Amino acid sequence: MKRFISKYRHGLVIAVYSIIYILLFSYLEHRPVHSYHIVHTVFDDWIPFCEFFIVPYMLWFPYMILAVIYFIFFNKNKHEYYQLAFNLMMGMTVFLIVSYVYPNAQHIRPTEFPRDNIFTDIVKWLYSTDTPTNILPSIHVFNSLAIHMSLTNCEALRNKKLIKAASFTLTALIIMSTMFLKQHSVIDVCMGATLALFGFLVFYPRRVSVASESVCFREVKRKKSEN
């Protein structure tokens, strides 16, 4: 057991933070708040409710867990694990701070469902367990993008095109699900994506610089060919 703990003790970083995050999030969900800032845009009214998106929405949980497990136990590059861990912790901490200083909520959930099936039953359960408060920025969106960035920037997965394609598809569907299930406003999604972009620039600077150098190289090569 000691050998196991010593080998994978780096996983304690995200494990301990997860416990702290859950406790703080639970406090934010149940603390007395006199008034909430309502998050809403006209685009929210244009997006129809679609209960079938509950499938990718719920897949967010195993997507998150399995990715973290991979970087802790199977990926030998600890630097890539810390990139993911600190990126996730940064975004989730920002979310907690925003929720504390700017209590927010949404009123876009449907009161009646257009269909009655197993998917709407799961959505009803979701609504009953998850309050429509503390939604800005969307953690579903931020964490999905953070996980996708970690997988696409993983050296061991460089040539795993199928994994990258599956990750991209699932991430896109999860983001869409937050809006089609009326769990988040378009603003929440945009803020979650913006936060993910910030995390990418902070925790994956080498990737950004390499991409910039590649663009500059192609531009120089193009000008030389024109001359």
Beta bridge partners of 214: none
- The answer for residues whose C-beta is within 8 angstroms of residue 209's C-beta and 6 or more apart is none
Nearest to 130 by CA among 58, 221, 70: 58
pTM for this predicted structure: 0.88
- Check: CB of residue 66 under 8 Å from CB of residue 1: no
- Per-residue pLDDT tens over the stretch 28-64: 999 999 899 999 999 999 999 999 999 999 999 999 9
Give the Cβ contact number of residue 11 at 10 Å: 17
- Per-residue pLDDT tens over the stretch 192-203: 999 999 999 999
